[in-house]
Amino acid sequence: MSDIADLTRRMRHFTEARAWAQFHDPKSLTLALVGEVGELAELLQWVRHEDQATVVREQPLHDRLAEEMSDVLLYLLRLADVVGVDLAHAAADKLQANKDRFPPDDHAGVAPAKV
């Protein structure tokens, strides 16, 4: 079974069982998502660049990262549910669009410019 659909359904039940759907308008859910992304950023902010690859796989950081990434995912799935977006389908489409937009040979080893 689709685990995105399954987690989405379970988050909906969790929300409804506590009568929290009244708080879950799109703008409020986006602020909640931002809060969790902020907690994720705090875990990494002072990690030295050269230590990253190692420490993210060590405890206690590894489990804390898993927890904050989970919170980000759960709010994102909740937002998609409220907005009526099939996120598994939309993300597959977006990835295909990115493949078409960035042909491998033209972009090998060059990060897309943002400036």
Among 91, 103, 102, 109, CA closest to 3:
91
- Residue 33, both tokens: 């998502």
Q: Which residue has the tokens 């937002």?
A: 79
Residue 77 CB, nearest approach to a copy of itself (Å) = 8
Rounded to whole angstroms, the Cα distance separating 73 from 32 reads 11
Q: Is 91 in the site for a copy of itself (CB under 8 A)?
A: yes
Task: Report the site for a copy of itself in 4-33 (rule: CB under 8 A).
Answer: 4-5, 7, 10-11, 14, 17-20, 22-23, 25-28, 30-33
Q: Is 38 in the site for a copy of itself (CB under 8 A)?
A: yes
73: left (phi over 0), alpha (psi -120 to 50) or beta: alpha
Q: Is 101 in the site for a copy of itself (CB under 8 A)?
A: no
Q: Is 100 in the site for a copy of itself (CB under 8 A)?
A: no
Residue 14 CB, nearest approach to a copy of itself (Å) = 6
